[in-house]
Amino acid sequence: MIADLWEKKVTISNELRRLLGPKARDAERDPHSKRVPRPCGITIHTGIGCNFGCVYCYVPDMGFPMKPRPYPLDPLQLVYALSINPYVIPRRTLAAFGSVTEPFLKETKERALAYMREVGRWLELPLQVSTKSVLDDEIIESLLSSDRDFSVLISISAIGNEAEKLEPNAPSPEERLEGAGRAVKKGLKVTLFLRPIIPRITDVQAERIFEIAISKGIREVVLGTLRVTPGIIRRLRAVGLKDVVLEIVRRLPRSPRNNSDQVTIRGSDLKKKISSTARRLGLKVLPASCSANILAHGEWCEACNMGPCGSRERALRDVEREASELLEVIGIKFKDLAYDGRFLSVKVRELPKNVHLKTLIEVALRVKAKILVNGKNI
Ligand code: SF4
Ligand code: SF4
């Protein structure tokens, strides 16, 4: 099975290289052709910059501009870049749109929808988007035609006046939830993404947010902890959230080392409290965004300690056979390979530089992997 998928990947990249001609070179140089997936899958950038101006956003501190523009690759170049990325396997690698920008900004929406359509058509990756936009009929229809099981995360951190302070240019959370309700009715798989959890705001408002989300047909929630930079602390203070800043500073495990250093605040108590509210109201609390993607697609994953997630009947039947097929197609000789029901252990003599075999196995087979190179665990 994995060998068939790998062959499909190679066929697609050959076909696109031929179609693109000299334009293939830009795609080959693009980071999408090399990026190593994060736990949520391979992140796909639909634009550069964002003008929603959320005060808790770390994107400006990463050097991205406030004025958005579409990502420079055209849709087929993007698919080609992904098809030559060693960690992208048709139907297996999770794809996440919207990690460093809002995909449906008016400046980037057309490109974002075209990317989703072409990635779905060529590579059939399980697609997921996180958004603060209002899902209108055009977006809903387009997502459904890109992937019938598209996983949509509606990001909300606060409602009412607090949301106006925190997300000055984004559509109101109430409108976002209205749009989510429309999407649910039309068959999209929508999950509430309660993030970032801003202490003294999100934890206080969570119950009300959940009630509205439930009334719109949402049944699952993912919680996300706040990460701060010095700039975020300054911006929160500037909008008058002094008590919130005091609480955030109290929860910092360490000071940020420089202006772009993101520090995750201590928030497990908040998550615990919010999770129990969610469960009391009947929401299922998922451990991470990838879990929502797996669930939406009726798949199974046990690649990390937060899982397993999804439908067990979709688990791979023969992990060892698939793993040996995978190693064969990527040209890695192994000494031994064994799956004990929890971990796939692979012993090799050597690994080429830049090959993250552990990540590749986790992405391709969705099981935890231990890689031993000459007896050394890497
Ligand atoms: S929508 Fe996302 S990328 Fe844009 S400012 Fe808000 S948090 Fe940042
Ligand atoms: S086990 Fe669940 S949380 Fe972990 S990587 Fe898989 S889908 Fe994500």
Is pLDDT at 141 greater than 80 in this prediction?
Answer: yes
Ligand nearest to the CA of residue 314, numbered in listed order: 2
Report the first-to-last Cα separation within the chain, whole angstroms.
27
Give pLDDT tens digits for 14-24: 999 999 999 99
Residue indicated by tokens 């609390």 = 285
Residues 225-230, mean pLDDT to the nearest whole number: 96
303 C-alpha vs ligand 2 centroid, how far in Å? 6
Nearest alpha carbon, ligand 1 atom 3: 101
Nearest alpha carbon, ligand 2 atom 2: 307
Give pLDDT tens digits for 170-206: 999 999 999 999 999 999 999 999 999 999 999 999 9
Backbone phi and psi for residue 367, each to the nearest 5 degrees, phi listed first: -130, 160
Confidence of residue 40 (pLDDT cuts 50, 70, 90): confident
Give pLDDT tens digits for 270-322: 999 999 999 999 999 999 999 999 999 999 999 999 999 999 999 888 999 99
Q: What is the pTM (predicted TM-score) of this model? A: 0.96
Ligand nearest to the CA of residue 311, numbered in listed order: 2
59 C-alpha vs ligand 1 centroid, how far in Å? 7
**At a CB cut-off of 8 Å and minimum separation 6, what does 371 contact?**
345, 346, 348, 351, 357, 358, 361, 377, 378
49-to-40, 45, 95, 324, 332 alpha-carbon distances in Å: 21, 10, 20, 42, 39
Backbone phi and psi for residue 77, each to the nearest 5 degrees, phi listed first: -65, -40
Give pLDDT tens digits for 311-327: 999 988 899 999 999 99
The residues spanned by each domain of the chain are: 2-299, 319-377
| 174/192 Cα distance (integer angstroms) | 13
Cβ distance 83 to 104 under 8 Å?
A: no
Whole-number mean pLDDT of the chain?
A: 96
* Structure confidence at residue 229 (pLDDT): 96
**Ligand 1 atom at minimal distance to the Cα of residue 59:** 8
* Structure confidence at residue 233 (pLDDT): 96
CATH fold of the domain at 2-299? TIM Barrel (3.20.20)
Nearest alpha carbon, ligand 1 atom 1: 102
Is pLDDT at 346 greater than 90 in this prediction?
Answer: yes
Ligand nearest to the CA of residue 93, numbered in listed order: 2
355 C-alpha vs ligand 1 centroid, how far in Å? 32
What type of residue is 348? V
Confidence of residue 245 (pLDDT cuts 50, 70, 90): very high
SS3 344: strand
Return contacts of 171-179, CB within 8 angstroms, 24+ apart: 171/132, 171/133, 171/134, 173/209, 174/212, 175/134, 176/131, 176/132, 176/133, 176/134, 176/135, 177/212, 177/213, 177/216, 177/218, 178/134, 178/216, 179/133, 179/134, 179/135, 179/136, 179/154
Ligand 1 binding pocket, CB closer than 6 Å: 50, 52-54, 57, 59, 101-102, 132, 170
Give yes or no for residue 296 CB within 6 A of ligand 2.
no
CATH of 319-377, one of 3.30.300, 2.30.30, 1.10.3470, 1.10.4160: 3.30.300
Nearest alpha carbon, ligand 1 atom 7: 57
